[in-house]
A = this chain, B = another copy of it.
Amino acid sequence: MQGKLPRSAIDRRVLHSSLASLPILYRFIPPEPASAQTAASSGALPSWNDGPAKQAILDFVRATTDQASPKFVLPEERIATFDQDGTLWVEHPIYSQVVYCLDRVPAVVEKNPKLKNVEPFKTVLSGNREAIAKLSLPDLEKILVATLTGMSVEEFNAEVKKWLTTAKDSRWKRPHTDLIYQPMLEVMLYLRGNGFKTYIVTGGGQDFVRVYSQRVYSIPPEQVVGTAGATKFGYKDGKPFLTKEPKLLLNDDKAGKPEGIHLMIGQPPHAAFGNSDGDRQMLEYTGAGDGARLMMLVMHDDAKREYAYGPAQGLPASKVGAFSQALYDEAKKKDWTVISMKNDWKRIFAFE
């Protein structure tokens, strides 16, 4: 059964979200480990329970960073990629970037009052949640184009920054960027401590995620690969600036993920983390290389602490983060690691 916002609508566009300004997360992050060995013994990955998932990460890092290992990987080839929505932060019941776009509609209409009585803007302005949830894919695209393009890069960045400090998630009543999975922050930190470059490779908007990636994930903007639109260079009062154009350059989802990795990074990752069918090709591409490779999928099976969705293991289907039985079967066949949020994660969020 399809949910309110069809996955296809969201996967394929400039979506996603986040943030706030409290540096709460950082209090819980252990210092960067000097090496795999010391990290393992001094308790890297403290929010992970012992088990095959944690062990797979430790084994991978040991194999790729020990010079005596036959699977040693040169530092310049240590690339790890992470999907964002559902892999690094909460995506349920609606991608945060979609919330941002809906929240921006009143400002767009204020600038262009003719839109007031034009669909889908009229429905969004009505505040009728059920009607909004039923918007069609073409309608959603109109909203995305109207709220994510047509302004300068600087204006866009300022708007997102402002929104992140005020918007709250509907369940936890916290800024969206509080809803980052603490165990995944620890994996990124652990990999970086062992010479890996960590990249976000998201179906969400590249420009959107770059606004908070450094603050929230310690990932600089140039290490965020996402769905990207063209910009147009121009001048205002003699000063150069870039305008965000409604022209899609990279649809960073499914096959677009390895294509985006090639465009933006230029070499395949040795480790890749995802949580849905949108990440399948990225994991296959990662696994196609020689030597040590780590492919992991986050499974949302913890209705109490977060959400439970996805057909794997008989969980109900969902509108976001579709993790199909076929993907689950492929993971088992290819020896990818499925992470159970319920069993593998001691803690989900830093604020717990």
Residues of chain A having any CB pair with chain B under 8 Å = 76, 153, 197, 206-207, 210, 214, 220-222, 224, 228, 230-233, 239-242, 249-250, 255-256, 258-259, 262-267, 281, 284-285, 288
Contacts and interface: CB of A to CB of B under 8 A. Distances in A.
A240 B281 contact: yes
Given A231-B259, A258-B233, A221 B285 contact: no
Given A239-B288, A263-B249, A281 B222 contact: no
B262 A222 contact: no
**Copies per assembly:** 2
A281 B233 contact: yes
B210 A266 contact: yes
A172 to B, nearest CB: 29
A232 B259 contact: yes
Contacts of A258: 233, 240, 242
Contacts of A233: 255-256, 258-259, 281, 285
B288 A153 contact: no
A259 B241 contact: no
Contact of A266 (B224, B262, B288): B224
A108 to B, nearest CB: 22
Contacts of A263: 206, 228, 231, 249
A10 B249 CA distance: 22
B220 A288 contact: no
Nearest to A221: B266
Contacts of A288: 239-241
Given A76-B214, A197-B222, A222-B222, 12 more contacts: A221-B266, A222-B264, A222-B265, A222-B267, A228-B263, A231-B259, A232-B255, A233-B256, A233-B259, A239-B288, A249-B249, A264-B264
B262 A242 contact: yes
Contacts of A197: 222
A258 B243 CA distance: 11
A162 to B, nearest CB: 19
B266 A222 contact: yes
A267 B221 contact: yes
A167 B308 CA distance: 59
A206 B262 CA distance: 10
Nearest to A76: B220
Nearest to A256: B233
A347 to B, nearest CB: 28
Residue of A239, A263, A281, A288 contacting most chain B CB atoms (<10 Å): A263
A230 B259 contact: yes
A230 B260 CA distance: 9
A220 B197 CA distance: 12
26 contacts: A206-B266, A207-B266, A220-B266, A221-B267, A222-B222, A222-B265, A222-B266, A224-B266, A228-B263, A230-B259, A231-B259, A232-B259, A233-B255, A233-B256, A233-B258, A233-B259, A233-B281, A239-B288, A240-B281, A240-B284, A240-B288, A241-B288, A242-B258, A242-B259, A242-B262, A249-B249
A206 B266 CA distance: 9
A262 B239 CA distance: 16
B285 A240 contact: yes
A113 to B, nearest CB: 31
A255 B265 CA distance: 22
